[in-house]
Chain A
Amino acid sequence: GQQLNQSPQSMFIQEGEDVSMNCTSSSIFNTWLWYKQDPGEGPVLLIALYKAGELTSNGRLTAQFGITRKDSFLNISASIPSDVGIYFCAGQQSTNAGKSTFGDGTTLTVKP
């Protein structure tokens, strides 16, 4: 099946630092999504991207839909302890009945 390669697998950073993570695929996606999973909870949608080159922000989070439509990037600025969790990218293709393909996740730890 399709695969999304997400990197890095984990990050350990100091509070206040900026964070970057990315997601790549060999397949083209029409929509890119970024979810966050808090410890012990289910994922929650952070940002949705709908067209190539799109740059969208949600507070301290900024995500980009890659020009090739095969990748996406998420940046978190000035990290805080509550940013801890697992960040998942997901892609959707219109030809796949709307089903989302999820990356393996990036686990973020923020040291106060």
Chain B
Amino acid sequence: NAGVTQTPKFQVLKTGQSMTLQCAQDMNHNSMYWYRQDPGMGLRLIYYSASEGTTDKGEVPNGYNVSRLNKREFSLRLESAAPSQTSVYFCASSVYMSSIEQFFGPGTRLTVL
């Protein structure tokens, strides 16, 4: 099992460009999450999907959109990237929203110039 995989690992964008971060899990988990991690700060929840077919805003959703493509895949889209979106993005999954443990991917390091 690969667990949670994320692509790409690194990305550099110019202000105003768009891109989609991909995430997939092979653990048959129902719930998936997108977080951002900024230096000296904890993980902040951007969006989550409690189950296939549902998505909800987290703590910092502005400037992002998500798609739960199927049970395995949950993508994060930046329509018009801004320097404030420079961060490390983590995707995570759990069996259910109420599950204690979340399993994290290796992260995507995004720089917006």
Contact = CB atoms under 8 A, between A and B. Distances in A.
Nearest to B9: A40
B50 interface: yes
B84 interface: no
Given A40-B106, A42-B92, A9 B40 contact: yes
A44 interface: yes
Contact of B42 (A48, A92, A97, A104): A104
A29 interface: no
Interface in A49-72: none
B97 A97 contact: yes
B113 interface: no
A6 to B, nearest CB: 8
Given A97-B50, A99-B48, A102-B43, A42 B107 contact: yes
Interface of A: 1, 4, 6, 9, 31, 33, 40-45, 48, 88, 92, 94, 97-100, 102-105
16 contacts: A31-B100, A40-B106, A40-B107, A41-B106, A42-B92, A42-B106, A45-B102, A94-B98, A97-B97, A97-B98, A98-B31, A99-B45, A99-B48, A102-B42, A104-B41, A105-B42
